[in-house]
Amino acid sequence: MVALKVENLVKDFKRSITLRKVRVVDGLNLEIRQGETFGFLGPNGAGKTTTLKLINGLLHPTSGSIRIFGQDHRNVAVKGRVGFLPENPYFYDYLTAEEFLDFYAQLFGIRRADRRVRVRRLLERVGLAARAAEPLRKFSKGMTQRLGMAQALINEPELVILDEPMSGLDPIGRRDVRNIIVELKREGRTVFFSSHLIPDVEMICDRVGILVSGRLSEQADLHQRLEMTSPASDLRVSGISEETFERLDALSIRTVVRGPEILAEVPGDGSVEKLIDLVRADGGRIISIVPKRESLESIFLREAAPECTESSELEVDRF
């Protein structure tokens, strides 16, 4: 089942002074499957926020179609199944956290008795239970972001759309938000979130799309993509004989001798297993075996800023 399908989405803005048209979203195609966690990556200004606003009906597309659970995204029944955390959530700062969430719950027509339970549970979930009765003007950026998460979840949405949910948070706050996203996935919800923080995406997403100049330059299964690109391993050993070294050298892409240690880059064709047996039989020591994965960061840099990508000559001293 497809949770969200975006087809040929285009959004033009007029620059206010020159009135020249600028195409911010440029024929975007995107498909999010039900139950997956999808990371929407892109450099600043790529058009992520604009895309998310278009999906949530806060902006009108110049052209293209957006379907959520198979229906037009402006459909009221569909909106009730979606939760949204905007990039810079604005809250009425004279309300308390509890009042604010209750107000939001009312907008979704949730009954009073249910509201109370739901609000309390959500405040716990985002770690704000102890601050429930404080006015929002006393909230830090991190607390505001957590409250925004709670607000996005008030209607128990099947599709949760979050615009930079980790931005402005300290490491603990980032970890907490990551954990909430993982929990949402466990509950069977679909999560679509934008971020420019690569490690957060790498840790929790099933799939990732990289937005560059309003188009998706890459949309892939993250783990498959990372494994597919570099199946080799880095092997570190010591205490082997000359003869074993020669066999290791022959099976490796390259070897480097560093003091008593030998570092070898071994292709992912079963050679690692063979070499482990060889080294052991020779009485040598295996210090480490590290599978080489292309990091999401290197994919991101290549897609988003090809001119900045390191040339292959620069990566010689990787050991």
Ligand X SMILES: Nc1ncnc2c1ncn2[C@@H]1O[C@H](COP(=O)(O)OP(=O)(O)O)[C@@H](O)[C@H]1O
| Cβ 15 to ligand X shortest distance, Å | 7
Long-range contacts of 227-231 (CB under 8 A, 24+ apart): 227/293, 229/293, 229/294, 229/299, 230/268, 230/292, 230/293, 230/294, 231/267, 231/268, 231/269, 231/291, 231/292
3-state SS, residue 58: coil
Q: Which is nearer to ligand X, 48 or 118 (CB)?
A: 48
Q: Which is nearer to ligand X, 218 or 261 (CB)?
A: 218
| Cβ 164 to Mg ion shortest distance, Å | 6
What is the x/- site pattern for ligand X, positions 69-108, by CB under 6 A?
----------------------------------------
Exposed/middle/buried for residue 39 (C-beta within 10 Å: 0-12, 13-18, 19+): buried
190 binds, among ligand X, Mg ion, none (CB under 5 to 8 A by kind): none
Which residues does 289 contact at the CB level (< 8 Å), separation at least 6? 233, 234, 235, 236, 272, 276
| Cβ 25 to ligand X shortest distance, Å | 8
Stretch that binds Mg ion, among 40-48, 133-141, 151-159, 220-228 (CB under 5 A): 40-48
Q: Which is nearer to ligand X, 86 or 127 (CB)?
A: 86
Q: What DSSP line would sit under 154-202, residue for residue?
A: TT--SEEEEESTTTT--HHHHHHHHHHHHHHHHTT-EEEEEES-HHHHH
What is the x/- site pattern for ligand X, positions 14-33, by CB under 6 A?
----------x---------
Length of the chain: 319
Q: Which is nearer to ligand X, 226 or 296 (CB)?
A: 296
Number of residues that bind Mg ion (CB under 5 A): 3
What is the x/- site pattern for ligand X, positions 32-51, by CB under 6 A?
----------x-xxxxxxx-
> How many angstroms separate the CA atoms of 135 and 132, rounded?
8
b/e string for 95-117 if b means 16 or more Cβ within 10 A? Answer: ebbbbbbbbbbeeeebeeeebee
Torsion of CA 117, 123, 125, 130, to 10 degrees: -120
Q: Which is nearer to Mg ion, 26 or 87 (CB)?
A: 87
Q: Which is nearer to ligand X, 194 or 244 (CB)?
A: 194
| Cβ 37 to Mg ion shortest distance, Å | 19
145 binds, among Mg ion, ligand X, none (CB under 5 to 8 A by kind): none
Which 85-104 positions form the footprint of Mg ion (CB under 5 A)? Answer: 87
> How many angstroms separate the CA atoms of 155 and 150, rounded?
10
Q: Look at phi and psi of residue 228 and say left if phi exceeds 0, alpha if psi is from -120 to 50, else beta.
A: alpha
Using rule CB under 6 A, residue 62 touches ligand X: no
Strands 233-238, 261-266: pairing is antiparallel
Q: Which of 13, 167, 197, 282 binds ligand X (CB under 6 A)?
A: 13
Q: Which of 37, 49, 145, 271 binds Mg ion (CB under 5 A)?
A: 49
Q: Which is nearer to ligand X, 28 or 46 (CB)?
A: 46
| Cβ 26 to ligand X shortest distance, Å | 11
Q: What is the DSSP letter of 135?
A: B
Q: Which parts of this chain interact with Mg ion (CB under 5 A)?
A: 48-49, 87
Q: Which parts of this chain interact with ligand X (CB under 6 A)?
A: 13, 24, 42, 44-50
